[in-house]
Amino acid sequence: MLRYNRYFMRKKITVVGGGNVGASAAVNLASKELGDVVLVDVVEGVPLGKGLDMLQAGPIEGYDVQVAGANDYAPTANSDVVVITAGLARKPGMSRDDLLLANYEVVKGVTENIAKHSPNAILVLVTNPLDAMCTVAHHVSKFPKHRVVGMAGVLDSARFRTFIARELNVSVENVTAVVLGGHGDTMVPVVRLSSVSGIPLTELIEPARLEAIVDRTRNGGAEIVKYLKTGSAYYAPSSAAVEMVESILKDKKKVLACAALLEGEYGIHGLFVGVPVKLGANGIEKIYEIKLNADEKAALAKSASAVQELIDVLKPKMAQATA
Ligand SMILES: NC(=O)c1ccc[n+]([C@@H]2O[C@H](COP(=O)([O-])OP(=O)(O)OC[C@H]3O[C@@H](n4cnc5c(N)ncnc54)[C@H](O)[C@@H]3O)[C@@H](O)[C@H]2O)c1
């Protein structure tokens, strides 16, 4: 049981969903000492066991924060940041879209509990289909849009950066990449704005090869699902979520590709779509609207319409839930 008193200044982070992504995120958050961590899952006992196990790694790893698991939301009260990973993971042959209706119910229930116990939290969504689940969390929580953000672009750009670094045999640290759009096969890696220490990618990699790398990035999740057979990627996804939490809790104001609610930016209205944002203590502090060329605009519009299709499926359910 976590005990808090008013002199206790550490931040509190809840991770909902203690499966592959959630448990990896929780241990990563603890090892970076970003705050005390509460891991919540519906499976009886499992988050409590995992939480205790993570706590006991502290003396060895040298981290000194509280980690606890729970099957209910009381211990999550007044969290500063909540990472939502609860839901089903994609199985082979299953598209992200297949998950839509099942994960709608999960994210709706989780968000209701979180909004009740942590009304001032910033929500970091991970559950797929990501952009649609951000809409659900925003709708259910009624939190202002700057406090609901989705993790996808950080992961997608990490994959893109990895492939580019391997192609050129250079450090991943020198590779910056911009990825826009919804999380899925329609994502838009923007080659024109990606570089290696400022050197445009187009000067380093020939177009056909670049196209193959873009394609591999778009299918980065499916490539891993194919190997794992049961379950999907979780090391890089959890690292990506933790980078976002770190930027928020340390008010680093990193500029990261995240799913944000657009209200006119990029000509998109009322949809969560991946764009570069500034992430700080207030959540999304700025959305960067970069000038796109005609091809990029068309690709982003296509990606946004794929997100819109999912929202159209959910709309009757969300309206019913509000009524
Ligand atoms: N956005 C991204 O880039 C990205 C990347 C990887 C995974 N994901 C998504 O993240 C989610 C989790 O993936 P995973 O690999 O950890 O799956 P997982 O199956 O290992 O874990 C999911 C956990 O959620 C729990 N859960 C289910 N319903 C719940 C509820 N109502 N309340 C609390 N917990 C609940 C399950 O018991 C399980 O432990 C999936 O939807 C997956 O598709 C997204």
pLDDT tens digits, one per residue of 147-199: 999 999 999 999 999 999 999 999 999 999 999 998 888 899 999 999 999 99
Q: Using an 8 Å Cβ cutoff, are 111 and 142 in contact?
A: no
Q: What is the pLDDT of residues 7-25, one digit of tens each?
A: 558 999 999 999 999 999 9
> Tokens 């996804």 correspond to what residue?
237
CA 316-318-323 angle, 5° bins: 90
- Ligand 1 centroid distance, CA of 22 (Å): 7
The residues annotated with a catalytic role in the active site are 183
- What is the pLDDT at residue 3? 53
CB distance 303 to ligand 1 below 6 Å: no
Which residues, 6+ apart, have CB-to-CB distance to 238 below 8 Å?
20, 21, 22, 24, 25, 28
- From the alpha carbon of 231, which atom of ligand 1 is closest? 15
* Alpha-carbon span 45 to 268, nearest angstrom: 43
Site to probe by mutation for ligand 1, drawn from 15, 50, 88, 117 as the one with most ligand atoms within 8 Å of Cβ, is 88
* Alpha-carbon span 158 to 239, nearest angstrom: 10
- What is the pLDDT at residue 279? 98
pTM, two decimals, is 0.95
CB distance 132 to ligand 1 below 6 Å: no
Residue 93, φ and ψ in degrees, nearest 5: 80, -5
- From the alpha carbon of 130, which atom of ligand 1 is closest? 1
CB distance 22 to ligand 1 below 6 Å: yes
The half-sphere exposure of 69 on its side-chain side, counting CA atoms within 13 A, is: 24
Site to probe by mutation for ligand 1, drawn from 14, 21, 99, 242 as the one with most ligand atoms within 8 Å of Cβ, is 21
- Tokens representing 270? 């009322």
* Alpha-carbon span 84 to 76, nearest angstrom: 13
- What is the pLDDT at residue 7? 52
- Ligand 1 centroid distance, CA of 291 (Å): 35
> Any bridge partners for residue 125, and if so which?
84, 150
Question: Hey, what's the torsion of the CAs at 240, 313, 275, 157, to 10 degrees?
Answer: 40
Burial of residue 3, with CB atoms counted within 10 A of its CB: 0-12 exposed, 13-18 middle, 19 or more buried: exposed
CB distance 128 to ligand 1 below 6 Å: yes
- What is the pLDDT at residue 89? 67
3-state secondary structure of 40: strand
**Count of CB atoms situated within 10 Å of the CB of 13:** 30
CB distance 21 to ligand 1 below 6 Å: yes
- What is the pLDDT at residue 231? 85
- Ligand 1 centroid distance, CA of 130 (Å): 11
> Tokens 């939301």 correspond to what residue?
73
Q: Residue-wise pLDDT tens for the chain (323 aa)? A: 555 544 558 999 999 999 999 999 999 999 999 999 999 999 999 999 999 999 999 999 999 999 999 999 999 999 999 999 999 866 667 666 678 999 999 999 999 999 999 999 999 999 999 999 999 999 999 999 999 999 999 999 999 999 999 999 999 999 999 999 988 888 999 999 999 999 999 999 999 999 999 999 999 999 999 999 888 899 999 999 999 999 999 999 999 999 999 999 999 999 999 999 999 999 999 999 999 999 999 999 999 999 999 999 999 888 887 76
Residue 36, φ and ψ in degrees, nearest 5: -75, 145
